[in-house]
Amino acid sequence: MILDLFKRKDAPLDSVSREVLNQAALQRAKMDLVFDAQVTSLKGLSCALNTVGKASLTLEVYGLEKPGAFTGKELTCYFRIREGKSVGFFGFNTRVEKVYTGKNGGLFFVAALPRRVDRSQRRRSLRVHPDMAWVGDVVIWSGAGHEDLELAPIVAEFKDFRGKNCRVENLSAGGMGIHFPRSFCRATGLCPLLGNAYTVQLFFTQEMRNQPQTLWFEAKAVRVVDDPISRDQSLGLEFTRVASRRGEDGGLVWRLIEDNVADELMERVFAWHTYLLRERGQVE
């Protein structure tokens, strides 16, 4: 009887919560990973759920270069998954039990199985899969802080995003995801690594009040995934600085992005999200 009491105290994860986590792993949902301020001052951390075990989870962490002192620390994850034609927003709390480095690099957290998964949404920018008809130009340069982008090495440009070549997987006011096929990587020698810096130019075909049509971003790679079968590369970029043209002389005016949201892009992404949900019943 005493043992039964203890079993009730540590009740297993309910079937609905477990299914949500299984779907998050299956869909490779990007999760915003948040520690308390006293644990770390780092912002913009994210992760993906690799495995869901009987008593623990394995999280692949992006945005950290060193293991750090995270064992025993509490964290919260916010994420979303596709539910039919709609999207569900969820969150859970857990504790880091172990930190290790993968065989091919990258950091992993083994975390305790959460008691439950709640419907919850962190108030950050929405993420959409943009229709490329809305994007008139996209250029990605290697590195950041260039004085003259004309001299900077180009990673990919608009022509590379046509047909079955590269594609923009998602875009938000805080960053973007890009898919590079194996053939493109082999032809260009592209081999992205976590922490790599990039500069991105985006031109939008639609005019929108208070939203510049052309924007430049400095970004860092916070997610690099090498598909083990196709050998395609998926690159997740977090925007760190944003620039638009100065009216007088046409120069670029740069500013730091705070709380992972560029105001110059937020309303445009929200409008796209509303359109996709209303007209097509889908979002990224």
How does pLDDT run across 71-84, given as a tens digit for each residue? Answer: 998 888 888 888 77
Bridge partners of 176? 171, 237
CA dihedral 19, 20, 24, 29 (to 10 degrees): 170
Architecture of domain 2-119: Roll (2.30)
- In terms of C-beta density within 10 A (0-12 exposed, 13-18 middle, 19 or more buried), how is residue 169 classed? middle
Other Cβ atoms closer than 10 A to 138: 22
Task: For residue 150, give the DSSP letter.
Answer: G
- CB within 8 A of 260, min separation 6: which ones? 43, 44, 124, 125, 174, 175, 238, 239
Quote the CA–CA distance of 225 and 178 in Å, as a whole number.
11
Q: Where in the chain is CATH 2.30.110.10? A: 2-119
Q: Where in the chain is CATH 2.40.10.220? A: 127-280
Tens of pLDDT, residues 96-135: 999 998 887 788 999 999 988 987 655 456 778 888 889 9
199 — phi, psi (to 5°)? -120, 135
Q: How far is CA 40 from CA 47, 75, 118, 156, 218, in A?
A: 16, 11, 24, 34, 23
Class of the CATH domain delimited by 127-280: mainly beta
Which residues of the chain form beta strands (DSSP E)?
30-35, 46-52, 56-62, 74-83, 86-101, 107-112, 118-119, 127-128, 135-142, 154-156, 167-172, 175-180, 197-204, 214-226, 233-245, 252-256
Q: What is residue 258's predicted lDDT score, i.e. its pLDDT?
A: 79
Other Cβ atoms closer than 10 A to 111: 25
CA dihedral 99, 104, 105, 106 (to 10 degrees): -60
134 — phi, psi (to 5°)? -85, -15
Q: What is residue 5's predicted lDDT score, i.e. its pLDDT?
A: 39
Task: For residue 208, give the DSSP letter.
Answer: B
Q: What is residue 6's predicted lDDT score, i.e. its pLDDT?
A: 38
Sign of CA dihedral 194, 125, 284, 107: positive
Single-letter residue type at 199: T
Q: What is residue 283's predicted lDDT score, i.e. its pLDDT?
A: 47
Question: Each residue's pLDDT tens digit in the chain (284 positions)?
Answer: 344 433 434 457 889 999 999 999 999 888 888 887 677 777 778 899 999 999 999 999 987 777 778 899 888 888 888 877 667 778 899 999 999 988 877 889 999 999 889 876 554 567 788 888 899 899 999 999 888 888 899 999 999 998 778 999 999 888 999 999 999 999 999 999 988 999 999 999 999 888 889 999 999 998 888 888 888 999 999 999 999 887 666 678 899 987 778 888 888 888 887 777 776 555 44
